[in-house]
Structure 1
Amino acid sequence: MGVRERKARDKQERERRIVDCARTIADSEGWAAVTTRRLANEIEYSPPVLYGHFPDGRDGIVSAVALVGFTDFTQVMREALDGAGIADRVGAFIEAYLAFAAENPATYEAMFSMRLGVQFAHDSTPAELREAFDVLVDAVGGGDHTGDHTGDAGTRAELLWSALHGMSVLTQGHRLSPGNRRRRVDALAGLFDPA
């Protein structure tokens, strides 16, 4: 391995450590606790090193956490869909989505609730976000994979996503009855069953 490759690998490793540290702090203490100074102290890098990797500072780090989260989300959702039978795909997707949101609250917040330097449904949308939306489209039975999800499948995917986001946020805020969870999941799956 040459010097250039080693430097690139070292840079990726530093960025991964910064992102992982930000996720850990946010999961245990919330995003308000994630500052560039705190990250620099935790991983023993100087603030200029952090800014060298993330010129936008904390906002760039939050965006990086979100992008990693979208990659993780897509993998988890694909596994849920691949492991389900035809009749259970929407239900399996719903369960996996709600579990992902509950198990990764800070990452989920970065992905869906915090202002990012990227947009959905735009020419500049990163591949990680597009792939995450593709799996939503697949869940509702659309999956033409043309990237244009403005038709029925795209609309249904947006509606499912909206319902799941609402359920996730309301559940996290203890606004929904825990005893009614199964009925909510079944009712939502029934609404979006492509059959």
Structure 2
Amino acid sequence: MATQQRRERERAQRETLIVNAAREMAEADGWPSVTIRKLAERIEYSQPVLYSHFAGRGAIIDAVALQGIAELTAVFKAARTAAEPGDELAALAQAYLDFATANPALFEAIFTLAEGLTFGVDAPEVLKAAFAELYAVFAPLAGDRDPDAFTEVGWAAIHGLAVLNRGGRLRPDLLEQRLSILLERFARP
């Protein structure tokens, strides 16, 4: 039994090593630089060892995305719980924008590159936890509108700002004004 537990622990450690190395490489040089060959060289294991843990590059990106979603959920919760009553939406929105700016490769993995993650009803628990944090902020503002739909639209609006800001598609001098308009629109009953 002790041998089996050691093997399982070592396997989990290798998976963590692979995911962390992929994330570091992506943050340093972008996702195109993350290949199975380069990952194997970086962590000093053979490519077959990586394939014994993950079906391919996409599965590694999905693992990075799940790790990132867990971190984003913690950021949401910290922003929401630290905010003054009535300021939860502003705190959450700013935390989302800050996370996108501070973690560009992770944000890309979560929202652009992840292939095997389902959102919605069949989502993994970590995704449901992230949505629950958004829901905790948006649902009280929904009024007579469906709180799930209202939360999804609110999330989409903040996410849209984050993506367009990151891509340099919006004027930087209007960032605060755009956020203020969004917050005002969603805070209306």
TM over 0.5: yes
Aligned: 1:79 with 2:73? no
Q: For residue 67 of structure 1, what is the aligned residue in structure 2? A: 66
Q: Distance in 1 between matches of 2:46 and 2:93?
A: 42
Give the alignment's Cα RMSD to 1 decimal.
1.8
Letter in 1 for 2:172: P
Normalised by the length of structure 1, the TM-score is 0.89
* Residue ranges of structure 2 left out of the alignment (5+ in a row): none
Q: Distance in 2 between matches of 1:95 and 1:173?
A: 17
Would you identify which runs of 4 or more consecutive aligned residues in structure 1 move more than 4 Å?
Answer: none
Q: Distance in 1 between matches of 2:104 and 2:124?
A: 22
Cα shift readout 1:168-187 (whole Å, capped 9, x = no counterpart): 11111111121111111221
Range moving further from structure 2, 87-96 or 168-177: 168-177
Aligned: 1:132 with 2:137? no
Cα shift readout 1:12-49 (whole Å, capped 9, x = no counterpart): 11111111111111112111111100100001011111
- The answer to whether the 8 Å contact 2:89/2:138 transfers is yes
User: How many pairs align?
Assistant: 186
- The answer to whether the 8 Å contact 1:140/1:194 transfers is no
Deviation at 1:2, TM superposition (A): 2.5
Q: For residue 27 of structure 1, what is the aligned residue in structure 2? A: 27
Deviation at 1:141, TM superposition (A): 3.1
Q: Secondary structure at the match of 2:139?
A: coil
- The answer to whether the 8 Å contact 1:141/1:194 transfers is no
Aligned: 1:45 with 2:48? no
Q: Distance in 2 between matches of 1:114 and 1:162?
A: 17
Q: Distance in 2 between matches of 1:136 and 1:107?
A: 19
* Residue ranges of structure 1 left out of the alignment (5+ in a row): 143-150
Letter in 2 for 1:140: F
Q: Distance in 1 between matches of 2:174 and 2:7?
A: 53
Cα shift readout 1:87-135 (whole Å, capped 9, x = no counterpart): 1000000000001111111111111112421211133x11111111111
Aligned: 1:109 with 2:108? yes
Q: Distance in 2 between matches of 1:114 and 1:161?
A: 19
- The answer to whether the 8 Å contact 2:139/2:150 transfers is no
Aligned: 1:3 with 2:37? no
Cα shift readout 1:134-176 (whole Å, capped 9, x = no counterpart): 111112135xxxxxxxx71111111111112211111111111
